[in-house]
Amino acid sequence: MSVSRFLLCLSLLAPGSGFAQGFAGLGTEADGFAIPKPSYRLQFPADHGAHPDFRIEWWYLTANLEDENGESYGIQWTLFRSALAPGEAEGWQSPQIWMGHAGLTSPTEHFSAERLARGGIGQAGVTLGPFAAWIDDWQMTGAEDLSRLDLSASGDVFSYALKAQAESPLILQGDHGYSVKSPEGQASYYYSQPNYRMEGTLTLPSGPVTVHGNGWLDREWSSQPLSENQSGWDWFSLRFDSGDKLMGFVLRGANGADDFRSGTWISATGEVTPLAPGAFQATPLGQAEVAGRTVPVRWKVQLPEREVSVIVESLNPQSWMDVAFAYWEGPVTVSGSHRGTGYLEMTGYE
């Protein structure tokens, strides 16, 4: 099934596919979907669950891992929800569509897999008490407050099973979890757990590997995440050896519009500071040919107010998620004023 065009239409994908806004009658208007409000205060554990009245939502976990020999790996476990119409209905009549993406990256290899399912029949979903997010046989289960997670996923030639233990509280992105995504005011609800200690097993074609490392969970939901004048997105989650963390994104302007840049500084002690619009800077330094397109896989990232000036380089430039709606997502290494690791996601490179 060629779902790609359909997904394009739904404009559901990763934080940043602004392409299809207004396409297929879906419109940039919310079409009866709920819209994020600045005044809303997130409530847990309820907000760990699904929000079927919003058009799109995701549970997005990435991790930088290392085996006993010091070899680096990265994994991605993502569950997307996209609604054809607001609300939920029983059985096949459910308008909720779920999509799972799993990625596994080593310096020389990258694997990706994808699952699709409909809500309403139990094939995919998110429940609370205890927390469980699943699609087919992939799952992310654990404590209701997300402090502890077990996750697993598999593709044709790879699989992984990992445990995650949170080492600090959740942090709210933007203004108490209300994250603005464009000058016109498009926004989403957005919170993260940037500090998971990870351990478990990766199964590669060459055999199983025991790994440990650090994970980062993003939770986000919205109904109209991007403006019409945005063509794609470069998203960085960087974990410095100092213990500080930086989440920053560039929503690339299209049709002559300016880029929209924003982010959050998370100090080693857990203090969260939203960055002023434009404070976060990311400049491509080197490109790679990936799946027939040119994608920037080497970046200069600067945050002058924190004296950050680093080179962000992909572990494997070919970290292409070859799924219905393809994008680049993979682990990165950080060098320069700060050293560390992180994850980079880039969408909208045609």
Partner 1 sequence: MTSVALLALLSHWRQHRFQLGALIVGLALATALWMAVQAINAEAKASYAKAEGFVQQLDQQNLVSANNTLTVADYVALKRSGWPLSPVLEGRLKVGGQWVDLIGLDLLTSPQIPAMSAPGAQAAEGELLISLLRPPGGLIMHPQTAAELSVSELGLTIHLSDTVPPGSGIGDISVVSRLLAKPDSLSRLIYLAQDPPDRNALEQLPNYIRFTSAQNAAIEPSALTESFHLNLTAFGFLSFVVGLFIVQGTIGLAMEQRRGLFRTLRCLGLPFRHLVVALVIEIAIIALVSGLIGLIIGYFLAVSLLPGVAATLSGLYGAEIENTLSLRPQWVVSGLAMTLLGAAIASSYGFFSLWHLPILQAPSTQARGQQVLRNFNGWALLGAGLLALGGLSLIFLGGLSGGFVFLGCIMLGSALLLPFCLWHILRAGQRLTRHPLGHWLWADARAQLPGLSLALMALMLALATNIGVGTMVSSFRLTFTGWLDQRLASELYVTARDDSQGAALEHWLEEKGLRVLPIRSQVLQQPMGQITIYGVRDDPTYRNNWPMLEVLPDAWDLLAKGKGILISEQLARRRNINLGETLPLPQGWPNTVLGIYSDYGNPHGQAIVSMPQLLRNAPEAENQRFGLRLDPDDIPTLIKEMREEFDLDRESVTDQDKIKEASKQIFDQTFRVTDSLKLLTLGVASFAMFTSLATLWSQRLPQLGPVWAIGVSRQTLAQFDILRSLVMAGLTALLALPLGLVLSWALLVVINTEAFGWRLPIHLFPLDWLWLIGLSLLAALLAAALPAWRLFRLHPSTLLKVFSSER
Distances (CA, A) of 162 to 114, 152, 166, 205: 18, 6, 13, 18
Distance CA(223)–CA(97), nearest Å, equals 14
* Closer CB to partner 1, 115 or 239, in the complex: 115
**Binding to partner 1 by residue 285, rule CB under 8 A?**
no
Which sign, positive or negative, has the C-alpha torsion 158, 163, 168, 170?
Answer: positive
Find the shortest distance in angstroms from Cβ 25 to partner 1: 8
**Binding to partner 1 by residue 132, rule CB under 8 A?**
no
As a 3-state breakdown, the chain gives helix, strand, coil percent values, each rounded to 5, of: 5, 55, 40
User: Which residues of 68-130 form beta strands (DSSP E)?
Assistant: 72-83, 96-105, 110-118, 124-127
* Closer CB to partner 1, 3 or 161, in the complex: 3
* Closer CB to partner 1, 23 or 272, in the complex: 23
- Helix (H/G/I), strand (E/B), else coil: 47: helix
Which of 54, 80, 134, 233 lies at the binding interface for partner 1 (CB under 8 A)?
A: 134
Stretch 55-94: interaction string toward partner 1, x if CB under 8 A? -----------------------------xx----xxxxx
* Closer CB to partner 1, 96 or 262, in the complex: 96
Which of 88, 109, 136, 145 lies at the binding interface for partner 1 (CB under 8 A)?
A: 136
Distance, C-alpha 255 to centroid of its chain: 25
Distance CA(308)–CA(108), nearest Å, equals 29
* Closer CB to partner 1, 8 or 254, in the complex: 8
Find the shortest distance in angstroms from Cβ 33 to partner 1: 14
What are residue 253's DSSP bridge partners? 230
Could you tell me if 126 and 139 are in contact, meaning their C-beta atoms sit under 8 angstroms apart? no
How many CB atoms neighbour CB 210 within 10 A? 11
**Binding to partner 1 by residue 197, rule CB under 8 A?**
no
Residue 304's contacts (CB-CB under 8 Å, 6 or more residues apart) are: 279, 281
Could you tell me if 114 and 323 are in contact, meaning their C-beta atoms sit under 8 angstroms apart? yes
* Closer CB to partner 1, 22 or 304, in the complex: 22
**Binding to partner 1 by residue 267, rule CB under 8 A?**
no
Distance CA(77)–CA(306), nearest Å, equals 31
Site stretch for partner 1 (CB under 8 A), options 8-16, 229-237, 250-258, 307-315: 8-16
Site stretch for partner 1 (CB under 8 A), options 59-67, 132-140, 274-282, 287-295: 132-140
Strands 148-154 and 230-240: unpaired
Distance CA(246)–CA(268), nearest Å, equals 11
Site stretch for partner 1 (CB under 8 A), options 117-125, 161-169, 244-252, 302-310: 117-125
R_g over Cα of the chain: 19
**Binding to partner 1 by residue 161, rule CB under 8 A?**
no
Find the shortest distance in angstroms from Cβ 245 to partner 1: 35
Closest CA to 310 of 286, 273, 340: 340
**Binding to partner 1 by residue 42, rule CB under 8 A?**
no
* Closer CB to partner 1, 65 or 117, in the complex: 117
Site stretch for partner 1 (CB under 8 A), options 21-29, 193-201, 228-236, 250-258: 21-29
Distance CA(272)–CA(195), nearest Å, equals 13
**Binding to partner 1 by residue 97, rule CB under 8 A?**
yes
Which of 27, 40, 130, 137 lies at the binding interface for partner 1 (CB under 8 A)?
A: 137
Site stretch for partner 1 (CB under 8 A), options 103-111, 118-126, 297-305, 306-314: 118-126
Residues found near partner 1 in the complex (CB under 8 A): 1-3, 5-6, 8-10, 23-25, 84-85, 90-95, 97, 116-118, 121-123, 134, 136-137, 154
